[in-house]
A and B are shown apart, each in its own frame.
Chain A
């Protein structure tokens, strides 16, 4: 990946508050993966989310 230039912006208090909710361990795991592995993992999780939504709809419809 190309080297990315960094810009400096004053910290936004809302963003700073949201940072407390971010699981940094997941980010570290992702950074250890290749870009392709990150997308493969995303596709897997998306598939799981779709399946859970389907199961939820089925439960709500009582079928």
Chain B
């Protein structure tokens, strides 16, 4: 199980710049679909990469779904050389994304964000419209199902005429 609160705390305590996207962002907006991992888009500056690496380092991040024992070292150099990382950690699965289909990177997504407070921790989250847009760009059947729910949430929040 994911310890979402601890992951948020770790990123926040390290002053890492990130945006919550994907299923957890959907939950923040009221979606009822369960999700197994946490997806975040991180700012790819050298300083922020160090912050992200520092935040997750105590929780043994390792590439998800690859055989154990591969020469993978969690450090700023590895993150700088790569872009998107699907990780398993002691706190659960986390997808650390430099860019996403249909949304771009942190700076492109920033105008589409809303500010939330979760467990007393301030965090940026992709807006409902931003989520719908990115899921539409990916277009897998599960994304279309998620869009249906997100659109209904948006309709439910609109003031009635």
Q: Which residues of A contact B13 (CB under 8 A)?
A: none
Type the 1/0 row for A32-62, where 1 means its CB is closer than 8 Å to any CB of B.
0101101100110111011000000000000
Question: Which A residues are within 8 Å of any B CB, using their own CB?
Answer: 1-2, 4-7, 9, 12, 14-16, 18-19, 21-24, 26-28, 30-31, 33, 35-36, 38-39, 42-43, 45-47, 49-50
Q: Which residues of B contact A45 (CB under 8 A)?
A: 34
B94 to chain A, nearest CB (A): 14
Judging by beta carbons under 8 Å apart, are B1 and A50 in contact?
A: yes
Question: Which B residues are within 8 Å of any A CB, using their own CB?
Answer: 1-2, 4-5, 24, 27-28, 30-32, 34-36, 114-120, 127-129, 132-133, 136, 144-145, 147-149, 151-154, 156-158
Q: Which residues of B contact A27 (CB under 8 A)?
A: 30-32, 149, 152-153, 156
What are 25 sample pairs from A and B whose C-beta atoms fall under 8 A apart? Answer: A1-B114, A4-B114, A5-B127, A5-B129, A7-B133, A12-B136, A12-B147, A15-B144, A15-B151, A16-B148, A19-B151, A22-B152, A23-B32, A27-B149, A27-B156, A30-B32, A31-B156, A35-B116, A35-B117, A39-B4, A42-B27, A42-B35, A43-B1, A47-B1, A49-B34
Inter-chain CA distance A38–B27, complex, in Å, is: 6
Across the two chains, which residue of chain B brings its CB closest to A19? B148
Judging by beta carbons under 8 Å apart, are A14 and B30 in contact?
A: no
Dominant SS among interface residues on chain B: helix
A7 to chain B, nearest CB (A): 5
Judging by beta carbons under 8 Å apart, are A14 and B144 in contact?
A: yes
> Given A30-B31, A35-B116 in contact, is the A18-B136 Cβ separation under 8 Å?
no
Inter-chain CA distance A41–B4, complex, in Å, is: 12
Inter-chain CA distance A23–B156, complex, in Å, is: 12
